[in-house]
Amino acid sequence: MTTEFLPHILASTSYLSSIFVPIIGWVVPAVGIAFLFLYIESEDIA
């Protein structure tokens, strides 16, 4: 039963690359740049 269930799950996750590519390409750098900007602009760096 598990051998039939696993290929079904792997086949249904083929759309995940179209979700993760924009997240890795846009969201992660935007969060990183926002964090670095707030860190640089803060008064207490050291």
pLDDT of the residue at 33: 98
pLDDT of the residue at 45: 62
Cβ within 8 Å of residue 45, ≥6 positions away: 39
pLDDT digits (tens, 9 = 90+) for 1-45: 555 666 666 666 778 888 889 999 999 999 999 999 999 998 876
How far apart CA 38 and CA 45 sit, in angstroms, is: 10
pTM of the model: 0.60
Q: What is the DSSP letter of 44?
A: -
pLDDT of the residue at 13: 74
How far apart CA 22 and CA 36 sit, in angstroms, is: 21
How far apart CA 15 and CA 11 sit, in angstroms, is: 9
pLDDT of the residue at 9: 64
